[in-house]
Structure 1
Amino acid sequence: MYGLIGKMTLAPGQRALVVSTLLDGTQAMPGCLSYIVAEDPSDADAIWVTEVWVSQADHQASLALPAVQAAIAKARPHITGFAERFETTPLGGYGLAAAGRSG
């Protein structure tokens, strides 16, 4: 498995728009076991995205999907930066096993 955890910084007041855009554009991504968008409680203009994929290749392929491309294009003007980014190798956990069995 392949995992990513990343923090995005956003233009002031644009968090709700970016969150909605990312969630709407990431509904059907082959190989995606988990895609979570979360507000940063200590920064009103930041979000965290946590992803789990079957493989790094599946993640890379998702970036070419029309819905993902549209979400990126819509969100990009409101993203001011990418702060922390971590690649991981997920081993399992609550919810992940169920997602893996259904996908």
Structure 2
Amino acid sequence: MTFANVGTIGVQPGHRDEVVAILTRRSTDLDSAGCLSYEVGVSDEHPDTVFVSELWESAEAHQLSLQLASVQAAIKEAMPLLSGEMGGNRFEVVGSPLRD
């Protein structure tokens, strides 16, 4: 069953664009790990927050992706730029009006 992870990442003031650049760097590893969608967004109303919406083939695929060398490197690079504030939700997708 498709797994969704939709969340927010707090960033240090003035470092949002750097975090966005790290998160949007092209990664073929995610494709092969079972990532169906990985969307990164920003809002002028929340200048120190990055929004992330992920769809995965399964919760297990998402969990395993965290062990990929490229993902570990991105996490290490982004960590000093983060505020530590994280939010969001994870859930199993049960359907969509866009597909059967």
Does TM-score exceed 0.5, indicating one fold? yes
- Alignment partner for residue 87 of structure 1, among 78, 86, 90? 90
Gap regions ≥5 residues in structure 1? 98-103
Q: Which residue of 2 aligns with 1:13?
A: 14
Greater strand proportion: 2
Question: How many angstroms apart in 2 are the aligned matches of 1:25 and 1:67?
Answer: 10
Provide closer, same or farther for how the CA distance between residues 52 and 69 of structure 1 changes in structure 2, counting only shifts above 3 A. same
Q: Percent identity?
A: 33
- CA contact 1:9–1:83 (8 Å) conserved in 2: yes
- Alignment partner for residue 40 of structure 1, among 32, 40, 43? 43
- CA contact 1:2–1:56 (8 Å) conserved in 2: yes
- TM-score, normalising length from structure 2? 0.85
Deviation digits for residues 15-68 of structure 1 (CA, Å, limit 9, x no counterpart) = 111011111164431110000110033111101110000000100110011110
Question: Aligned letter for 2:91?
Answer: T
Provide closer, same or farther for how the CA distance between residues 89 and 43 of structure 1 changes in structure 2, counting only shifts above 3 A. same
Gap regions ≥5 residues in structure 2? none
Paired positions, count: 95
- TM-score, normalising length from structure 1? 0.82
Provide closer, same or farther for how the CA distance between residues 25 and 68 of structure 1 changes in structure 2, counting only shifts above 3 A. farther
- CA contact 1:32–1:51 (8 Å) conserved in 2: yes
